[in-house]
Amino acid sequence: MVDESRALEVVGISAFDERVYRGVLACPGITVQELVMRSGESAGRIQSSLGRLRAMGLVSRLWGRAPRWTATNPGTAIRSLVRDMQSELDQLTDTADELEAAFRTVGTDPEGGGQFEVLAGPEEQARWYVRLQQEAKEEVLTFDRPPYVLDYHNPLQTGLLRNGVRYRTLYVPEAFDHAGALDEVGALIRAGEEARILPRLPFKMAIVDRRRAVMPLHMDPPLTRGVLIRGSTMVVALVELFERLWREALPVRPELWSVDGSPPPAAEEEQDPEPGLDLGVEDRRLLALLAAGLKDDAIARQLGTSPRSLRRRLRHLLDELNAETRFQAGAQAGRRGLV
């Protein structure tokens, strides 16, 4: 018997029991010995499996001197198991509601305002994100990744940067998928934001003055629930995670994203590009976007070109850099001082 699927594990049927069930389903009236010969398993293990399947209503033992087995109607049997599971899930949901109520009660501190507060709905999460920024005095640390509850444009940040609040943001490539994102981030960096990029982030969050944090409780859109954390060891742990990932991340280079490609004064001290490579501003910009980890469709949107034209330019760049893959192109570009 072949391991065709493990789909039934979701209703509590193991991969082995599913194989036995499929064997019975394919040969009504099959014997234990025939199942043993087909599977190579012991008779005892086959008998145990049939007993479990019978208890779940998936197989029946036929009347007669020799024990033979047949499958019941799969649709009826499996739907019955699904109904039983749904009933258990409903009970689990009720338990989750009870635990959440206890969480709210325990997390409430009459003097300090509570260490944890569940935020119901994207509007409440957005409201607290704005409020915490407005109350920031020293620093805002952010994991920036989709999905979002607010427009990517953050009108508060420029003013706070001007007032001396430090912003450090870790981005993922998907944060630049929408049109205009690179220009917006470039403007924030020129205003003073410190930005770095990683291939992935575990979740999204914002930490203000290392005392309060806001983050969603799940990452599936829409972001229906979040949590506000005040002055606890959890905030300390989140700050430590941010600092560790910050050290691993690569700086975002807006001077290589800009249309005119003019670098700031600090960039003039970096390694000169390797002679003999005739790469224009747009090619260098494309390399910078590749190095940042953006996908082809996102790069095409930022450059205002079609995916097909982008692929032709990318093929040309790979040839110029003697690279076979995007990863190799990024590595070659970094080694040669092109990004």
pLDDT digit string (tens) for 17-76?
888 999 999 998 899 889 999 888 898 999 899 988 988 888 888 876 777 899 888 888
Distance, CA of 281 to chain centre:
33
Q: How confident is the model at residue 235 (pLDDT cuts 50, 70, 90)?
A: very high
pTM greater than the 0.85 cutoff: no
pLDDT at 13: 85
Indicate the average pLDDT of the chain: 80
Q: How confident is the model at residue 161 (pLDDT cuts 50, 70, 90)?
A: very high
| pLDDT at 233 exceeding the cut of 80 | yes
pLDDT tens for 84-136 read 878 777 777 777 777 766 665 555 444 444 588 899 888 899 899 999 999 99
> How far is Cα 122 from Cα 64, in angstroms, rounded to an integer?
63
CA distances from 275 to 255, 272, 279 (A): 21, 8, 10
pLDDT at 292: 67
Q: How confident is the model at residue 184 (pLDDT cuts 50, 70, 90)?
A: confident
Pick the more confident residue, 264 or 140: 140
Distance, CA of 14 to chain centre:
28
Length of the chain: 339
pLDDT tens for 247-293 read 988 888 766 554 444 443 333 334 444 554 666 777 777 777 776 66
> How far is Cα 313 from Cα 310, in angstroms, rounded to an integer?
5
> How far is Cα 3 from Cα 329, in angstroms, rounded to an integer?
41
